């Protein structure tokens, strides 16, 4: 068993405890949210208090390092009907909502929406309670009439990860993170990995980590049985391979450690919206191999910081696409495995691209301006 697989196997009990805490103790979560909200309401003074409803790295990062004069607090429970919580709601200036559902603690509360895809109703622009709609990419910006200029592209950000200088050694680890596995192309990656492993047998010690769970389906990205079966077979094979780990990985600190210690990030995704894991991998200085769908080409510039598999007009769930994507991925993996200087150069280009295009200071400045305009602060 490889050291990475041994380490991740030993960490599984920690992950189970983390999941239990996150999902099986909703009462404690509510207590924590109320405490945070009370605390922020008491100390806010003249700061703008913003509630948000998404437990996602980009939101957590912004809450920990907010713009000057802004306070963020996460609240995921509907608190209407309780006098204490309604009183607290009056202290909240803005609701920063992710997705389709309004999440407000007061009926007259200004709302700022954020979407990662263009599939939302045009009526949102006419809603007077919604003051601003941020979309996470140019791809996600729909072609709606927008006379009040509510729509705006605001890219997500992620901190630049501190990593040790990567070396040009013969031991390389490929990494993928995201679920559900069949949507993210885990079957494609596994087959391409087997092919390059055979090709470079005796030359390179290759490992593969897929932080995903094959048995998870989601309604908005359904996959057919053929695609799901290939993913299941890849999972069953991985159990018996010493250099492959195919399981969802918790807590997030372990995933962050992996980003900083692997060599190539691969996401041959069939369906996606933004692909935030690619941005996290770029911040760790990794070369990227992904597909050219949705917002991904806004992050990955071919032959600058990685490669993109052109999905063309394929049915991405078909056997024909699977065979095509495996060949394309094998080709790009071969290039990055054999060419260490290029691999390191593309990784550095990824990091610089995050600093330049997905700049956290710009996002903080823009949010501060928008929030102040909404509450009419000088």
CATH number of the domain enclosing 64: 3.40.50
Q: Give the CA angle between residues 154, 143, 115 to the nearest 5°.
A: 40
Is the same domain home to 309 and 212?
A: yes
Q: Structure tokens of 75?
A: 């609240």
Asked whether residue 15 is assigned to any structural domain, the reply reads: no
Asked whether residue 2 is assigned to any structural domain, the reply reads: no
Asked whether residue 13 is assigned to any structural domain, the reply reads: no
Q: Which of these, 50, 92, 58, 93, lies nearest to 74 by C-alpha position? A: 50
Question: What is the per-residue pLDDT across 305-352, written as a single tens digit (0 to 9) for each?
Answer: 999 999 998 999 999 999 999 999 999 999 999 999 999 999 999 999
pLDDT of residue 101: 59
Helix and strand numbers, DSSP H then E, in the chain: 12, 12
Asked whether residue 16 is assigned to any structural domain, the reply reads: no
Asked whether residue 170 is assigned to any structural domain, the reply reads: yes
pLDDT of residue 78: 54
Is the same domain home to 128 and 148?
A: yes
Considering only residues 304 and 103, tell me which one the structure prediction assigns the higher pLDDT: 304
Is the same domain home to 197 and 341?
A: yes
DSSP symbol at 123 = G
Is the same domain home to 72 and 96?
A: yes
Q: d(Cα 300, Cα 358) in Å, to the nearest integer?
A: 12
Q: Structure tokens of 174?
A: 């490929």
Q: Which domain holds residue 85?
A: 22-156+359-375
Is the same domain home to 364 and 266?
A: no
Return phi, psi of residue 308, to 5°.
Answer: -120, 130
Q: d(Cα 60, Cα 74) in Å, to the nearest integer?
A: 9
Is the same domain home to 238 and 175?
A: yes
Is the same domain home to 50 and 120?
A: yes
Which residue(s) pair with 306 in the sheet?
288, 302
Of the listed ranges 179-188, 198-207, 213-222, the least confidently predicted one is 213-222
Of the CA atoms within 13 Å of residue 305, those in its CB half-sphere come to 24
Q: d(Cα 71, Cα 57) in Å, to the nearest integer?
A: 17
Is the same domain home to 166 and 30?
A: no
Asked whether residue 271 is assigned to any structural domain, the reply reads: yes
Share of the chain above pLDDT 70, in %: 90
Considering only residues 2 and 236, tell me which one the structure prediction assigns the higher pLDDT: 236
Q: What is the mean pLDDT of residues 341-366?
A: 96
Other beta carbons within 10 Å of 334:
15
Asked whether residue 64 is assigned to any structural domain, the reply reads: yes
pLDDT of residue 351: 97
Is the same domain home to 263 and 190?
A: yes
Q: d(Cα 236, Cα 298) in Å, to the nearest integer?
A: 35
Considering only residues 255 and 5, tell me which one the structure prediction assigns the higher pLDDT: 255
Q: Residue 273: which CATH number? A: 3.40.50.2000
Q: How many domains does the chain have?
A: 2
Q: Structure tokens of 15?
A: 């992950």
Is the same domain home to 199 and 143?
A: no
Question: What is the per-residue pLDDT across 165-175, written as a single tens digit (0 to 9) for each?
Answer: 887 788 999 99
Is the same domain home to 129 and 179?
A: no
| pTM beyond cutoff 0.95 | no
Please say whether the beta carbons of 75 and 33 come within 8 A: yes
Q: Structure tokens of 184?
A: 């993210």
Mean of all residue pLDDT scores within the chain: 88
Is the same domain home to 122 and 263?
A: no
Asked whether residue 6 is assigned to any structural domain, the reply reads: no
């Amino acid at each position: 068993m490889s050291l990475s697989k041994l380490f991740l196997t030993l960490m599984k009990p920690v992950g189970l405890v983390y999941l239990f805490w996150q999902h099986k103790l909703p009462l404690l979560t509510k207590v924590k949210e109320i405490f945070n909200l009370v605390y922020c309401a008491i100390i806010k003074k003249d700061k703008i208090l913003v509630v948000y409803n998404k437990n996602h790295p980009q939101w957590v990062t912004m809450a920990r390092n907010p713009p000057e004069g802004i306070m963020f607090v996460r609240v995921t429970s509907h608190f209407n009907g309780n006098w204490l919580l309604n009183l607290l709601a009056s202290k909240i200036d803005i609701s920063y909502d992710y997705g389709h559902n309004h999440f407000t603690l007061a009926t007259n509360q200004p709302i700022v929406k954020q979407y990662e895809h263009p599939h939302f109703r045009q009526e949102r622009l006419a809603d007077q309670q919604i003051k601003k709609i941020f979309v996470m990419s140019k791809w996600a910006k729909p072609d709606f009439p927008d006379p009040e200029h509510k729509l705006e592209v605001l890219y997500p950000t992620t901190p630049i990860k501190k990593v040790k200088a990567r070396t040009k050694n013969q031991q390389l680890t490929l990494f993928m993170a995201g679920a559900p596995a069949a949507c993210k192309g885990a079957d494609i990656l596994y087959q391409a990995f087997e092919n390059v492993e055979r090709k470079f047998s005796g030359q390179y010690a290759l490992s593969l980590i897929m932080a995903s769970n094959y048995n998870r389906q989601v309604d908005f990205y359904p996959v057919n049985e053929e695609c799901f079966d290939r993913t299941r077979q890849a999972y069953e094979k991985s159990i018996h391979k010493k250099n492959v780990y195919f399981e969802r990985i918790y807590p997030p600190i372990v995933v962050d450690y992996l980003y900083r210690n692997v060599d190539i990030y691969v996401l041959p995704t069939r369906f996606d919206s933004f692909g935030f894991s690619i941005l996290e991998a770029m911040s760790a200085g990794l070369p990227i191999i992904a597909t050219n769908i949705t917002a991904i080409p806004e992050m990955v510039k071919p032959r600058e910081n990685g490669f993109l598999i052109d999905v063309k007009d394929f049915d991405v769930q078909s056997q024909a696409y699977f065979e095509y994507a495996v060949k394309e991925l094998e080709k790009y993996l071969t290039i990055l495995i054999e060419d260490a200087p290029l691999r390191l150069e593309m990784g550095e280009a990824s990091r610089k691209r995050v600093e330049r295009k997905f700049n956290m200071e710009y996002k903080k400045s823009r949010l501060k301006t928008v929030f102040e305009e909404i509450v009419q602060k000088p």
